[in-house]
A and B are shown apart, each in its own frame.
Chain A
Amino acid sequence: MKAVVALLCIFSAAQSFAQDRSPQDEALWILNRLTGVRNPADSPVAAQMATLITNGDKKGAAALATQQPQFLSVTVKEMAAQMSTREETVAIPLNDFAAGIIGVTRDESDARELLHGNFYYTADPAKIAAVTPVIPNNLLTDILLSNLHYNALERSNLDVGATLLRVEGQQIPTSATTSIANPDPAGILTSHAFLAAHAVAGTNRRLVEYTFREFMCTEMIGMADTGAPDVRIGRDIERSPGGDPLKFQANCKGCHTVMDGFRGAFSKWDYVPTLSNAAQTPGGAIYVGNGVTAGNFQPRIDNNANDNAAGVMFKMNRPDFVQYSGGYILRDDSFINNAVRGVNATRFGWRGLAPDSSPLASATGGVHTFGRLIANSAQFSRCFAKRVFDQICKHDLSDSDKDALFASLGMEFEQNSYNLKKLFQAVAVHPRCRL
């Protein structure tokens, strides 16, 4: 008897829950999730969305929601902020990396250019001219050498999404007051935020690791392949750790074949932090061929006479830390893809380079070319589908459900010309999104 009563209670609760999914309830849920904020139950936008849902047009309802300013300034910004730094936290101010993703989403342009385009987004000077407090807007001091511009933009009462302006032609600093055109532009991979997070010190392997982590949703350990050739593994990697060569063969080699194969793309890049001296000598992104011969922006190149590698940064070959003299010496920004065997081939779905109409279209190395390779893979699309799903739906699925769902959403994303705004809309109305 008690069991029957309990079952009836559960049934009625379930019915009640199912009956709660009125068009009004659905509309408010989609609006809240796409804008990332709570909206009043009597919101006029929610009412319009409810009418569309009643008429069977859920995607139209989602499109209305993505017109709200909070969609870009809250939802897209939080997704992008997590991808921009090593800490992968939302609790950071707006930066140029996130502004790039917001801008591409707003403009409904091909998201692949986030990894190889020659542009950046900044506040439209005309829209911030009369704002107080003033939003600092100097290209060098506030955008290339710091995050002051984006921080102030976010703190203002301006609609961030509406204020951003796409600027063609990335720049890199050569001093506190001068800059040059970026010779190897790669969208947000060569943004100040991404380089500041991953190109500082080290050996530029972190740039590869985080590119895969953020844009392919794959950790290095997940793509390790001990059977791939170790020809490109650098000299700084010990081949007999602890005196045991088998340990290298069975462990270290797995990640390094892939990571070291790709890191050549970043061999001409470095990021130098601001010097904490009396003058606070600024730091920023450095490129090997920036023409600077003294000071903080002078590239520290590999000038070891035996290496013949003056075209790359010192940290790539570490002539001061040779653990295995037979290791690979990088001399240019070429790279090879060692993530092509077995599971990795189907995992990533490599499809060659993304189309590119820039003068760099014929390049065979550098971050620009690397970005085109990543962006054109099937996993890039699936990864963005996953990120959007996590941002909007906020619950977990089983592994098999995930794979199937993100594959289908990824394909839809590609069929819509890599339109991120449409991806958000498709995810928000997907039957698997709301629990």
Chain B
Amino acid sequence: MKKLNMKWKRISLILAAMAGLSTLSFNCAPSMFQAPKGHGFSFSSFDVFAAPKVSPYSLMTSRQTYKTFLNVTGQEGAATTAQQNEYDLRSATLATTDRLTNVNAPLQMAATSLAGEMCNGLLAKEIALPAASRRFFGQVDFARSAAQNTPAAFDAAVGMMATSFWGRAPSSEESKLLNSFYTEFSAGAGTAAAGTRNLYLAACTGMLAAFDTYNY
């Protein structure tokens, strides 16, 4: 029989080792998954294929989002049937885990729809109160048109909504954006008082549905 040269001897050795390793690992699969000896105990990760969570921020799940919307709009414990129904419709599209990678367009649309219903309820509640007792819209006269209300009233409402919904004041960029929205909306809102309600419904919905509300 021809003797193997060094090169082929090395190749044979490597192949033999690989074959042995694959057989060994297959046969001993259960013990390979045990924690290393002397480790005591360890928590196996159930989510072995997911990237580790290293962000200081976390997304809220579906029910957390719903309860947050109620909480920051002061409607906790008083959800209306319409709000509950809207949540039932949207809950499957909102997040089921706390991973930020869950954020997608359908989720954002669902959050916006739910926020709209929450703001509907908030406005109904606050309009029924005397101005001095309102938390968000104390300077707004809902009996007047948007143009007849002041920018200062809008600024005050935005400030309160940001404090409640986002836990902070709006940044200068956010304020610019909202003021630009206010100017355009007021110009086209007409003379009816309903325009005022629509203005604040839109502002509230946009701010409540912002990402900053449903992450923490």
Contacts and interface: CB of A to CB of B under 8 A. Distances in A.
B53 interface: yes
B103 interface: no
A403 B43 CA distance: 7
Contact of B30 (A42, A217, A254, A395): A254
A254 B37 CA distance: 17
Interface in B95-114: 96-98
B44 A222 contact: yes
B77 interface: yes
Contacts of B20: none
A87 to B, nearest CB: 10
A39 B78 contact: no
B34 A395 contact: no
Interface in B38-53: 39-44, 46, 52-53
Interface in A368-410: 379, 382-383, 386, 394-396, 399, 402-403, 406
A110 interface: no
B42 A402 contact: yes
B62 A91 contact: yes
Given A38-B214, A251-B27, A218 B44 contact: yes
Given A221-B30, A403-B43, A157 B79 contact: yes
A35 B46 CA distance: 25
A78 B72 contact: no
A401 to B, nearest CB: 11
A241 to B, nearest CB: 13
A70 B67 contact: yes
Q: Which of B39, B41, B54, B71 counts the most chain A CB atoms within 10 A?
A: B41
Chain A contact-residue range equals: 35 or more
Contacts of B34: 222-225, 343
A251 B29 contact: yes
Nearest to B71: A37
Nearest to A379: B41
B200 interface: no
B120 interface: no
A434 B56 contact: yes
Given A343-B34, A394-B58, A403-B40, A250 B216 contact: no
Contact of A38 (B35, B42, B72): B72
Contacts of A73: 67
Contacts of B28: 226, 250
Interface string B138-149: 000000000000
Contact of A78 (B31, B61, B76): B61
Given A90-B63, A342-B37, A435-B55, A39 B27 contact: no
A291 interface: no
A219 interface: yes
A243 interface: no
A356 to B, nearest CB: 25
A386 B72 CA distance: 29
A139 interface: no
Contacts of A155: 84
Interface stretch (A123-131, A275-283, A344-352, A423-431): A344-352
B56 A435 contact: yes
A254 B216 contact: no
Judged by DSSP, the binding face of B is loop
B166 to A, nearest CB: 8
A37 B68 contact: yes
A158 B78 CA distance: 9
Contacts of B56: 395, 434-435
B33 interface: yes
A349 B58 CA distance: 33
Contacts of A207: none
Contacts of A221: 30, 33, 44
A255 interface: yes
Contacts of A246: 27
B61 A224 contact: no
A343 B167 contact: no
Interface string B120-134: 000000000000000
Contacts of B35: 222, 343, 347
A32 interface: yes
A138 to B, nearest CB: 23
Nearest to B87: A155
Contacts of B60: 36-38
A39 B37 CA distance: 46
A364 interface: no
A77 B63 CA distance: 10
Nearest to A218: B44
Contacts of B150: none
B186 interface: no
Interface string B150-180: 0000000000000111011000000000000
A62 to B, nearest CB: 16
Interface of B: 27-31, 33-35, 37, 39-44, 46, 52-56, 58, 60-64, 67-68, 71-72, 76-79, 84, 91-92, 96-98, 163-165, 167-168, 213-214, 216
Chain A to chain B: the 8 pairs with minimum beta-carbon distance, closest first: A254-B30, A224-B30, A435-B56, A347-B41, A394-B58, A40-B164, A396-B52, A250-B27
Interface of A: 28-29, 32-33, 35-42, 69-70, 73-74, 77-78, 89-91, 155, 157-159, 213, 217-219, 221-226, 246-247, 250-251, 254-255, 342-343, 346-349, 379, 382-383, 386, 394-396, 399, 402-403, 406, 434-435
25 contacts: A35-B71, A36-B67, A39-B72, A39-B167, A40-B164, A41-B168, A42-B164, A69-B76, A70-B67, A70-B71, A70-B76, A74-B63, A89-B96, A90-B97, A91-B92, A157-B77, A217-B44, A218-B44, A224-B31, A250-B29, A254-B30, A346-B40, A348-B41, A349-B41, A435-B54
